[in-house]
Structure 1
Amino acid sequence: MVATARKNRGPVVDCDIHNAVWPGALDPYLAKRWRRHGQLFGSRTHPGSLYPKGSPAAARHDAWPPSGRPPGGDLEFMRKQHLDPEGIEYGILNCLGPAGTQLNAEYSSALCRAVNEWQIAEWLEKEPRLRAGVAVPYEDAELAVKEIDRFADHPGFVQVLLIVRTAEPLGRRKYWKIYEAAERNNLPVGIHFGGGARGVPITASGWPSYYIEDHTDMAQAFQAHVVSLVCEGVFERFPGLRVVLIEGGFAWLPSLMWRLDKHWKRLKEEVPHLKRRPSDYIREHMWVTTQPIEEPHNPRHLLQVLDHLGGSDRVMFSTDYPHWDYDDPDRAFRVRLPEEDRRRIFAGNAKALYGLR
């Protein structure tokens, strides 16, 4: 049955694969000063929420490679376990190490540069199916711009990677130079689940008691950034900017658009820089990935969600490999998708957004 499903769905563009840095992997790409800094002082970043002990490294139990590297750290094992058997035509790497979250901005910048050079040497040059996000020290826009401009011309990099739990809402001016550089270099900005910069809690009411709360509440952070990016006028200022919400779900997006539009009608005098309805900016400038896909009790209700989104042309498939909540391409959708929607979600939308031939 699985083999038949795989044959029917065709190839896949996986928009969220995690490659992991193994100990010592970045040393060849770090200046002596920063290698010494890491040895003496280590990482200074807020740890955020730890994953359950039952899933070390947030990984599937079968994702630990025999080489001894961490899950997602062995390219050959990734080929055998994921890329080849699942028919992955292209995979987008989102490296979630602590490089971009360091409180020492200069060290963060050095680590991001090392991560990007490591991705080129160990992943992009060795596997033609893979693309990657540019790691940036996103809390310092000027340093982030340097990394974007340094690596944007490499064909393997197809987006700028941010983490959703930032120090401030992402529409704020402190981040605008990042968007200017992304637009100038024709790169989407991917905002990925996770983080915890400077000890910012996940909810507006402080820290939750349980991991299940933190994991579920992550959608709040995505919603806050969507509202901020729209209301601060980011898309009016950067009309070519494209934003991808990665691993944040998407069933909440239609109701958010409706609520924003309703309040804009009554309060638009406060934001005269918005020339259109908030939902128009979201529909034009924002994409979402599927994992973790919402699973209503009636599977057919998911088709209604796609309809409320205005169609399937902004939804892109992702697995979150090798993490514990991985979505198998053949089992992710409990409802049969119309053929056009299936083609768009599994490959077409990502190919168009990322310029994949």
Structure 2
Amino acid sequence: MTQATPGSVAETTVVDTDVHITVDEERIAKYLDEPYRSSITDSPHPVFPSSSWDQRMGGKIDDHFSTFTDPEDIQQFQADFQIEYPIINTFEPLGKFSQPDLAVNLMRAYNDLLLDVFLDDYDFLGLAAIATQKPQEAAAEINRVADEDQIVGIYIGTSGEYPPVGDPSNDPIYKAAADNDLSVVFHGNGDEFMFDFPHHNKGFNNYFEVQTLGHAWQQMAAMSSLLGEGVPAKFPDLNFVFLEAGIGWVPYMMHRMNKIYRMRRSEVPLLEQSPEEYVRDQFYVASQPLGEPNNGDDMKRLIETLGADMLMFATDYPHWDFDHLEEMDKYLQHYFTPEERRKVLYETPVEAFGLNI
């Protein structure tokens, strides 16, 4: 790949594939049916489960960024960071809720809030939150919101999902997404490591160990489940997107699954080609959190392995550890052609989400 001619970000159309809104419990409760509204507002016990890890290092980490409570916050972000098209999501991973009916009601509530506050009167793009605890009701929710032009995908937090996302019981979700031309988005999390890997969570001594593994392990499990159950083969027109796990895990998974596929092909009869081919045909990966190799050439080789047809840019704003556009763009401008840079920042997300922009 040849080196790009330096260009201004201001001259480039940028799609940010992972922007979170901030929704506190009191606000979402207004969109819930009873008895779930009262269970959130009146219960003396936390309804939203969370781990006890000290993510803020005793106050050393300033988390004042983590508030996007109204559309004006996003508009200011667009102006400050030169992001023309933010794809926003409600962030909360619904798989962690033990009560299926609560999860389903939260799913509808988050989507109603997203449409009511952020999409109906603004030109943002959004992802519909999905709770997999009741796949048929999740499919009905997809059909309910699919006619909204600004909904460009469905959003599944890969935290606490049981059974795993590839399980055939979830096929109604994928069928509804495919029928409505909506991409399926999986989002990794750190705090919810406790639900997916409880033995490790209990044994680790600090959040460094958890945050290093949490997002990537969840996405690796999701990808393995999807391929192992033949989901992309069953739904060949469906696009799958992975957010907030970085990119380093993807080449490993493609090559590892290829090897296991050749040894155990009879266990995955639905796959008609290698796992890597499915990943390259139907899967897309967002950049954040971009790794920080000591040698920049290592990042160049990693991006080359993925290719600009799979890679998309994401900030993860407004989280305090977000990736600034300049972090990604320094590699794109230094190592890659203007055409490849344009793909990562604009054309590949347009393809992944079927955007009409």
The TM-score range, normalised by the shorter chain, is 0.7 to 0.9
Q: Structure 1 108/259 Cα, relative in aligned 2: closer, same or farther at 3 Å?
A: closer
The equivalent position to 2:17 in structure 1, one of 15, 38, 57, is: 15
Partner of 2:351: 352
- The answer as to whether partners of 2:31 and 2:113 remain within 8 angstroms in 1 is yes
1:178 is the counterpart of 2:159: no
Contact 1:60 1:322 in 2 (8 A): no
Q: CA offsets per residue over residues 69-90 of structure 1, 9 Å max, x none?
A: xx1113213322x111222111
| Larger mean Cα displacement after TM superposition, 46-55 or 108-117 | 46-55
Match of 2:37 among 35, 38, 42: 35
Which residue does 2:275 correspond to in 1?
A: 278
Displacement of 1:188 in angstroms is: 0.8
For the residue of structure 2 that corresponds to 1:14, the secondary structure is strand
* Alignment partner, residue 160 of structure 1: 154
Moved more, 219-228 or 297-306: 297-306
Match for residue 74 of structure 1?
70
Match of 1:320 in 2: 316
- Judged with a 3 Å threshold, the aligned counterparts in structure 2 of structure 1 residues 235 and 77 are, in CA distance, closer, same or farther, namely closer
- Classify the secondary structure of the residue corresponding to 2:142: helix
Residues in 2 aligned to 1:213 and 1:308: alpha-carbon distance in whole angstroms: 27
**Secondary structure of the corresponding residue to residue 153 of structure 1:** coil
* Counterpart contact for 1:18–1:95, Cα < 8 Å: yes
The answer as to whether partners of 1:46 and 1:197 remain within 8 angstroms in 2 is no
Q: How many Å apart are 1:13 and its aligned residue?
A: 0.5
Could you say what secondary structure the match of 2:81 adopts? coil
Consecutive unaligned residues in structure 2, runs of 5 or more: 1-5
> What is the TM-score normalised by the length of structure 2?
0.87
Q: Could you tell me how far apart the structure 2 residues matched to 1:188 and 1:60 are?
A: 34
Q: Does the 8 Å CA contact 1:16/1:92 hold for their aligned counterparts?
A: yes
CA positional deviation for 1:349: 0.9
Is 1:144 the counterpart of 2:138? The answer is: yes
Note if 1:47 corresponds to 2:42: no
Superposition RMSD on alpha carbons, in Å? 2.7
Aligned length: 344
Q: Single out whichever of 333-342 and 287-296 deviates more from structure 2.
A: 333-342
| Structure 2 match to 1:225 | 222
Q: Which moved more, 1:165-174 or 1:142-151?
A: 165-174
1:282 Cα deviation from its structure 2 partner:
0.9
Q: Which is further off, 225-234 or 47-56?
A: 47-56
Task: Tell me: CA distance 1:347–1:193, structure 2 relative to 1, closer, same or farther (3 Å).
Answer: same
2:136·2:172 contact (CA, 8 Å) conserved in 1?
A: yes
Q: Which residue number in structure 2 is paired with residue 294 of structure 1?
A: 291
Report the TM-score, using the length of structure 1 for normalisation.
0.87
Residues 185 and 283 (structure 1 numbering): CA distance in 2 closer, same or farther, change over 3 Å? same
Deviation readout 1:305-347 (Å, 9 max, x if unpaired):
22222x2111110001011111111233442232112101111
Q: In structure 2, how many angstroms separate the alpha carbons of the residues matched to 1:258 and 1:149?
A: 36
